[in-house]
Amino acid sequence: MNIVVISSSKVGTKTQTATKKVVELIQAHYPGESLTLIDLKELDIVFSDGRNYLDYSGDTAYVTKTVMDADVLFIGAPTFQGSIPATLKNIFDLLPQNALYHKTVAMIMMAGSPKHFMVAETQLKPILSYMKANIVPNYVFIEDKDFHLQKIVNDDVLLRLETLVENTLVLARTYAEIWRQQEDSYDF
Amino acid sequence: MAKENKNCLPAFDASKGIEFGIYTLGDHLINPHTGKRISAGQRLREIVEMARLADDAGLDVFVMGESHQDYFVSQAHSVVLSAIAQATKNIRISSGATIISTSDPVRVYEDFATIDLLSNGRAEIVAGRASRVGLFELLGYDLRDYEALFEEKFDLLLQINQNEHLTWQGEFRAPLNNAHIIPRPLKGQLPIWRAVGGGPGSAVMAGRAGVPMYMAHLGGPTGAFTGTIAAYREAARESGYDAAALPVTTAGFFYAAEDTLTALREYYPHINEGMKFTNGQGFPKQAFAQAQDVRSIINVGSPQQIIEKILYQHEQFGMQRYVAQLDFGGVPFDKIRQNIEMIGTEILPAVKKHTAKKEN
C-alpha cells in the first residue's frame, strides 16, 4: 500500500498536528507500508490551469504525482469560511476528474466551532465522490479546544484517529483484494 | 438555401460505403508483454511500413499525429508523412492532428501542399489543439493563449487554403501582405479537418466554421458521443451551412484477433501500460471488459464483432470515415500486420458493403 497524508492548511499548526499524529499512528501500527506526508504549508503550489497533471513542474508536479501514485489518502483540512480551504480545492483542480479511482480516502477536519461539523459531509465528500474515491464513511472532526501547544489533548480524538487509521487500512486492503478478484474474473 | 461553403470538403462516395483508415500517434512505448522497446529509428520505419501495408490492403487513409512528449517519435510528423507519400500509391495521407497552435500555418501549408504534390493529390490536414501542453514551452508559446492561438491559426490555415495570395493580420504571427503562398496542392485546396475531443464545445466551433470534423475518443458508450456530432451539425445549420454535406471522421482504439478474449488479452496491457506513460493513468480493466458489448466504442474483438460494432457506430454517428488506432503501446509489428490483414480481407469489405448507400 502506498499511503499519502495531506496537511492542507497554509495557516497555523492544528492541521499539521493532526496529520502528524496520523503519520505516527500509521508508522506504529502499519510499519511496512510506504508513507508520505505532504504539508502544503511547506510547498509552493501553482493554481491549476487545466493541463495534464504530469505537465506541471516543481512542487506542484511533486504533489500531483505523489497523490496520483497513492493507494490510500488521508486528507487533513481546516475549515475556512464554512468550507474546505482553497489550497485543498486547488489540489483537486490540478488532478484529472477520475483521479481518485481505486483510492481509499479518509478525512480529518479541523474547525473552530462545532457548527462546522457537516462541512466534510456537504463540501468535501461530494468532490471526493465526483473524483471516484472510495470514501471512508466516518471522518474525524477536531475542534480548536482539542489542541494545546501543538498537541491533541482530547483522548476521545486520539482514539477516534486510531479508529480512522485502522478502518481506512482495513477498507483499503479489502478493496484491493476485491479489485484483484474482480479483475481476475475477466480472464484477460 | 444553404450558403456557399468555401472550405475544401473531402469527397466521399456514399455508394461505396464509409472510408476505413488507420491512425497512429507515433507513440514509442515498451511492449508490456516483453518489457522491451524498439529503437526510435525502427519505430519510424515500422510506421512507414504500416502505411505501406495499409495501402496494399486497400485501406482509404493513413493518419499520423504530432506529439512532442516523451515516449513519442512523431515530433516531425509531416516528415514521416512525406516518407509515407513515397512508400505508398493510393492511400490518402493525413495528419491527425497537426498542432496548429504552436506552428506557423504558412509553413504547415507549405509542407502539406508539398506532400500533396509528391503523392499526386493524396494529402489532408487535421488540425488540433494538443491534449498535452509541453510543446508550448518547448516551442516558445504561452499556455494562457491555448485557445486564442488555435482559433487564430486555424482560421489563417483555412484562409491560406482558399487564397493563393493573402493579406492577413493577427495577434500571433507577422502580417501577410499579399503574400504568395506556394506550392498549391494538386486540386487547388487541401481538405482541412478540425480535431475535436469528447466535448461539444470544439465541435460547435467546427460546425460554425463549416469545416469537416475529426472526432477521437478513448472509451465509453457510443451513445455518449452522439451529442457531440449533433451539436456539430446543429451549429453548422445555424451558421447557414448544408450540415449534411459536412463529413465526420471518428477515431479510436482498435484491435482484432481470432476471438474476443484473445483480442482483449493481447491488447489490454498495451493500452493500460501505455496510457500510464503517456497520460499518467492506466485504463480501467472494467471499462475495457465492456468492449465486449456492441454499444462500447472500443473496437476490440473478433473481426465479426468489430464489424457489428462499426456498423452500430455508423447507425449512431452517420460518419463518413472511421480510423483505427491499432498500434498504441508497443504493439509488435507482426500483430500490426495481422490486424491490417484482417481489416483488408474481412472487416473493410463487410463494413463497406453494409454502409454503402443503395441507389433508389
Mean pLDDT by 10 residues, chain B (360 residues): 89 95 98 98 98 98 97 98 98 97 98 98 96 92 95 97 98 98 97 89 94 93 93 96 95 96 97 96 94 95 97 97 98 98 98 88
Instruction: Report whether B79 contacts B40 (CB < 8 A).
Output: no
The answer to whether B226 and B317 are in contact (CB under 8 A) is yes
Q: Which residues contact B151 (CB under 8 A, 6 or more apart)?
A: B205
pLDDT at B198: 61
The alpha-helical segments, DSSP class H, found in chain B are 40-56, 77-87, 105-118, 134-139, 146-162, 200-209, 226-238, 260-279, 285-289, 303-317, 333-342, 348-355
Amino acid sitting at position B3: K
Taking contacts as CB-CB distances below 8 angstroms, the residues of chain B near A183 are: 285-286
CB environment A9-39: b (16+ within 10 A), e (fewer):
bbeeebbbbbbbbbbebbeeebeeeebebbb
Q: Could you tell me which residues come within 8 angstroms of residue B91 by beta carbon, excluding any fewer than 6 positions away?
A: B21, B51, B54, B55, B59, B60, B61, B62, B122
pLDDT value of position A24: 98
Which residue among A49, A53, A188 sits closest to B280, beta carbon to beta carbon? Answer: A53
Residue of chain A whose Cα is closest to the Cα of B261: A188
B residues 88-147 closer than 8 Å to A (CB): 131-134, 143-144
Could B143 and A99 be called an inter-chain contact, meaning their C-beta atoms sit closer than 8 Å? no
Distance of CA A44 to the CA centre of its chain: 19
d(CA B234, CA B260): 37
Give B-chain residues touching A58 at CB under 8 angstroms: none
DSSP H or E run through B23: strand B19-24
The pLDDT score that the predictor gives to residue B200 is 86
Question: Which one of A49, A55, A98 has the shortest CB-CB distance to B134?
Answer: A55
Residues 16-35 of A with CB under 8 A from B: none
Q: Which three cell numbers stand for residue B176?
A: 501577410
Chain B CB within 8 Å of residue A185 CB: no
Q: What is the pLDDT of residue B2?
A: 81
Can you tell me which residue has the cell 457537516? A118
Q: Round to whole Å and give the CA distance between A185 and A10.
A: 45
CB contact under 8 Å between A188 and B132, yes or no, is no
By percentage, how much of chain A surpasses pLDDT 90?
A: 99
Q: b/e for B268-284, b at 16 or more Cβ within 10 A?
A: bbbbbbbbebbbbbbbb
3-state secondary structure of B162: helix
Chain B 227-266, CB below 8 Å of chain A: which residues?
Answer: 261, 264-265
Q: Please compute, for residue B229, the number of CA atoms within 13 A of its CA located in the half-sphere on the CB side.
A: 23
**Residue found under cell 499548526:** A13
Interatomic CA distance for residues A79 and A120, integer angstroms: 9
Handedness of CA B102, B275, B195, B113 (dihedral sign): positive
CB contact (8 A) between residue A188 and residue B133: no
Phi, psi of B15 (to 5 degrees): -70, -15
- The C-alpha atoms of residue B295 and residue B291 are separated, in whole angstroms, by 8
Model pLDDT, residue B360: 59
Of A96, A186, A187, the CB nearest to B281: A96
- At residue B3, the pLDDT reads 85
Determine the distance from the C-alpha atom of residue B293 to the mean position of all C-alpha atoms in its chain, rounded to a whole number: 24
Q: Which three cell numbers stand for residue B101?
A: 497552435
Residue A126 is inside which H or E element, if any? helix A125-130
| Residues in chain B closer than 8 A to A102 (CB atoms) | 284
Kindly state whether B358 is in contact with chain A, defined as any CB-CB distance less than 8 angstroms. Answer: no
Surface-to-core class of residue A180, CB atoms within 10 Å of its CB (0-12 exposed, 13-18 middle, 19+ buried): exposed
Rounded Cα distance, B249 and B175, in Å: 33
The domain defined by B14-355 carries CATH number 3.20.20.30: yes
DSSP string of B51-108, one letter each residue = HHHHHHTT-SEEEE----STTB--TTHHHHHHHHHHH-SSSEEEES-EEGGGS-HHHH
Q: What is the CATH number of the domain that holds A27?
A: 3.40.50.360
Q: How many domains does chain A have?
A: 1
Enter the C-alpha cell of residue B221.
Answer: 458508450
Write down the pLDDT at residue B197: 85
Distance from the Cα of A48 to chain B's closest Cα (Å) equals: 12
Q: A54: distance to nearest CA of chain B, Å?
A: 7
User: How far is it, in rounded angstroms, from Cα B63 to Cα A76?
Assistant: 48
Chain B nearest C-alpha distance from A95 (Å) = 10
Taking residues A164-178, report their average pLDDT.
98
Give the separation between CA A1 and CA A102, rounded to whole angstroms: 12
C-alpha cell at B202: 470544439
Inter-chain touch B143–A51, beta carbons under 8 Å: yes
SS (H, E, C) A42-102: HCCCCCCCCCCHHHCCHHHHHHHHHHHCCCEEEEEECCECCECCHHHHHHHHHCCCCCCCC
CA distance B134 to chain A (A): 6
Range of the domain at A152: 2-185
Q: How far is B285 from chain A (nearest CA, A)?
A: 7
In a mutational test of the A interface, the residue from B285, B290, B296, B298 whose CB has the highest number of chain A CBs within 10 Å is B285
| A98/B contact by beta carbon, under 8 A | yes
CB within 8 Å: A53 and B134 = no
The answer, for B300 touching chain A at a CB cutoff of 8 Å, is no
Boundaries of every domain in chain B: 14-355
Residues in chain A with CB shorter than 8 Å from the CB of B133 are 51-52, 55
Q: Which residue of A has its CA nearest to B142?
A: A49
User: How does residue A19 score in pLDDT terms, banded at 50, 70 and 90?
Assistant: very high
The residue type at B156 = L
User: How much is the pLDDT for A177?
Assistant: 97
Residues of B within 8 A of A67 (CB-CB) are none
Residues of A in contact with B144 (CB under 8 A): 49
Q: What is the distance, to the nearest Å, from the Cα of residue B206 to the centroid of all Cα atoms in its chain?
A: 15
In this prediction the pTM is 0.94
Residues 6+ apart with CB under 8 A from A180: none
Q: Give dist(CA B192, CA B243) in Å, integer.
A: 16
Contact in structure between A120 and A87 (CB atoms under 8 Å): no
Lowest mean per-residue pLDDT among A1-10, A88-97, B125-134: B125-134
Let me know if B175 is exposed, middle or buried by CB neighbors in 10 A (0-12, 13-18, 19+). exposed
Global ipTM: 0.90
* A53 shares contact with chain B (CB less than 8 Å): yes
Could you tell me if B284 lies within 8 Å of chain A, comparing CB atoms? Answer: yes
